[in-house]
Amino acid sequence: MLSFKSEIKFNSRRSPVVGTEGMVATSQPLAVAAGLEILRQGGNAADAAVATAAALNVTEPTSTGIGGDCFALYYEASSGKIAALNGSGRAPATLNLEKVKADGIEGELPLFHAHTITVPGAAAGWCDLIEKHGSLEMSQMLAPAIKLAEEGFPVAPVTAYFWGRGVDRQLSIGLNGQELTLDGRAPKAGEIFSNPGLARTFKVLAEGGKQAFYEGEIAEAIASLVQASGGVMTEEDLAAHTNIWETPISTSYQGMRLWECPPNGQGLAALLALNIIEGVDLSGMAPLSVERLHLEIEAMRLAFADTRWFVADPESNPAPLEELLSKEYAKERGKLLDPSKATVDQQRGAPMASSDTVYLTVVDGEGNACSFINSNYMGFGTGMVPKGWGFTMQNRGHGFSLDPDHPNALAPNKRPYHTIIPAMITHDDTGELFASFGVMGGFMQPQGHMQVALALSQDGLDPQAALDMPRFCITDGSAGGNVALEEGIPVETMATLSQMGHKVVPTSGQERAVFGRGQVILRDRESGVLWGGSDPRADGLAMSL
């Protein structure tokens, strides 16, 4: 087998991909091929999205899996309407703060503990998306992924790197984690890896629908795994799972409208930051200038100060979304921006009520679009594998707070603060699709959404150029966190931002993973031409029919 020693430099150039009959963009070429195969069979954006997501489960288990959650935005071209799918699961019915404390856990849940496993919503999410918007049978959508899992696939370079990190961390300690290794080690770049257990899972789902995942052999294996690892999830918890179709939230910006899923996802942060930055004239500021980067970082600090408090399960702790997203509230928050220095101790506002992850995007030939994200949370999640089924269980419950007074406090049957968020942009005058996009990567996601949205709408960049642009990341998603600055931002700019009070962390090489990995498909409303871009920080690409 060939073995290359060249370090990934992130210095190549790509043109945007253009086409008219449909397009898929994601972080694995083989997953793109799966989505295109479904489009060629006459499937629409929903069908191709599920096929792509399933293939990503096979080819990039370092980031995603059917043992995790998903969220989606779906744009229906015939009506111009956008629907939001919340495919996130809940904590077990008997898991509460008292149980956690009795188990000797304080402060926060350990990263890979069984108590961080919430009911996985992805399987139901795929089925719900197809039931509402799809046109083909689930067996057709899962066929490409089943083939990849059974016959094996060559592991891509970036994926191989993070697979190795996963083996060193959770796969080495998680029950049955060795099922996703080659005799205890990670596959190398270009090495063939097959996953017959995951193929078996997909066949069960294809034949029996979501009920076959949440009841029966798979549910029994999940409950047995969690309980053997110290958790309390039961088969009844799994059987009770349901997803929700919701009304998305949005805000306008210079003739465009950015759409996000509502809480318990953190898309609210991107909208808050964009609202705040709208009060600043950016027209005379270069995208990577000190002045603009400083203001964007400060707007995100204010947004995180709000969302780390207000984003929680809306069934138990609804956020005052109308007030938070009002332009009046943004104007008041914007008064806290200091153009000369960093403010790392921003506090949440008080709106008054008046009464690691994969992302993919698909636009089909009819103009329907699906912005879709599916995640295990931290790489392989807990690293725990239901014996014989070929997927790891997520550790999404780590997002809960153990502070009983916090809106996001752990409680039975509650959904945690969620980092994964898909996005869309429409023309504000007509509601027509402008772009379907997303940037995966923990707390980077709303920051990436704001930066890419500004690159597309404010700066007029094509999708590939917008994704190539060096980024910043407030690394822990808090108002006062360190700011990672990507190689490509001038050193002089980094130094000045540091002098202004930002805790700057210059970042390069594989550590660029902190800046997320995005995908964009933009639609020209006059010609119908699709323009696609794929993040250079990943293994993927955009391709058109």
- Indicate which residues carry an active-site annotation: 357
Q: Give the span between the Cα atoms of 419 and 267, in whole angstroms.
A: 8
Q: Give the span between the Cα atoms of 228 and 213, in whole angstroms.
A: 20
Total count of residues recorded for the chain: 545
Cβ-contact 408, 219 below 8 angstroms: no
Query: What's the CA angle centered on 542, arms 539 and 545, to 5 degrees?
Result: 140
Six-digit token string for 297? 């970082």
Residues with Cβ within 8 Å of residue 137, at least 6 apart in sequence: none
Six-digit token string for 389? 């089924």
Cβ-contact 149, 198 below 8 angstroms: yes
Which one-letter DSSP state was computed for residue 151? Answer: H
Q: Give the span between the Cα atoms of 129 and 350, in whole angstroms.
A: 36
Six-digit token string for 232? 């309390």
Cβ-contact 125, 85 below 8 angstroms: yes
**For the chain, counts of helices (H) and of strands (E):** 16, 19
Q: Give the span between the Cα atoms of 179 and 199, in whole angstroms.
A: 13
Q: How far is CA 26 from CA 161, 346, 358, 451, 535, in A?
A: 18, 35, 8, 19, 8
Cβ-contact 385, 377 below 8 angstroms: no
Torsion of CA 459, 286, 252, 368, to 10 degrees: 30
Question: Which three-class secondary structure state does DSSP give residue 129?
Answer: helix
Residues with Cβ within 8 Å of residue 9, at least 6 apart in sequence: none
